[in-house]
Structure 1
Amino acid sequence: MQKLIKTVTLSVALTLVSGCSYFGVYKRDLPQGNLVEQSAVEQLQPGMSRNQVRQLMGSPLLEAPFDADQWDYVYRLDKAYDGVEQRRVTLTFAGDRLVDVAIQGDLSEEIPLPNVEEAGPASESAQPGATLAPVE
């Protein structure tokens, strides 16, 4: 009987400690695409050249393969426990000039970005709290 109790206790302990945890799986937010902000979209003006748009908005995520006059900027944020937020800005050109801006999604809501210092593991030589010397 005592051997059975030890076996059951060990099995329960190993199950809780292993990857098949009873408490659930850790999820994190998953951002994808171009970060589309309302401030940049507000600066778009009909008649702007492709180079001006590229400097303001960055390179488009999608260029239509059969219609080179359409650029799509798509941002999708799959929130770990709160659904999906998607923003899309479609720019249409006539020749080299911007003629139409179509917006899908709510651009007015601020998107929280992760802190750069928290992203990725620290290097082995880095000391906690130490600052890096500027590159010349």
Structure 2
Amino acid sequence: MRPLFRQTLLFLLPLLAACSNLSEVKVTNYLHPYRIDINQGNYLTQDMVAQLKPGQSKEQVRFILGSPLIVDSFHGGDRWDYLYRLERGTGDVQTRRLVVFFADGKLSRVGGDVAAGSAADLAAPAAATAKVINIDGAPAAAK
């Protein structure tokens, strides 16, 4: 039993020593783990912004857009900030910002990078604006 152990040990030691020179090769260079998409904040659509009209109350705006992420308490709560951040697993980051201003408890103006949808977009049925994506590459059949 002893000679077999020694022969195996003498065979494996040079192999293990050779593996110590592979310090520059890293497994993370070849493996790419799955990273999830991270959504933070209030997701706002053009349809939601298009429903806002000057003179609406704070309750109506909160019903349409949801609770604001930031309420400016220094100016009596007359400014609401809606922020949205999407960080994709690939590293791409998308941010959106919408600021709603009130005067005397009524909506006075809206600013930010989320534009309201046009009247034609809002009047079109949802089925007409839906997109069909084929995975197999064949052309989509029109409905």
Tell me the TM-score range normalised by the shorter chain. 0.5 to 0.7
Between 1:48-57 and 1:22-31, the stretch displaced more is 22-31
CA RMSD across the alignment: 2.8
Report Cα offsets for 1:14-49 as digits up to 9, x if no partner. x85xxx674134322111001111110000000000
Q: What residue in structure 2 maps to residue 88 of structure 1?
A: 97
Note if contact 1:87-1:107 (Cα within 8 Å) is conserved in structure 2: no
SS at match of 1:66: helix
Q: Does 1:75 align with 2:84?
A: yes
**Residues 105, 47 of structure 1: CA spacing in aligned structure 2 closer, same or farther, 3 A cutoff?**
closer
Q: Does 1:3 align with 2:12?
A: yes
**Which is richer in helix?**
2
Q: Distance in 2 between matches of 1:7 and 1:53?
A: 68
SS at match of 2:36: coil
Q: Distance in 2 between matches of 1:30 and 1:21?
A: 24
Runs (5+) with no aligned partner, structure 2? 1-9, 118-143
Q: Does 1:62 align with 2:70?
A: yes
Q: Distance in 2 between matches of 1:91 and 1:8?
A: 66
Which structure has the bigger radius of gyration? 2
Runs (5+) with no aligned partner, structure 1? 109-136
Residue-pair matches, total: 103
Q: What fraction of aligned residue pairs are identical, expressed as a percent?
A: 36
TM-score, normalized by length of structure 1?
Answer: 0.63
TM-fit CA distance, 1:2: 1.8
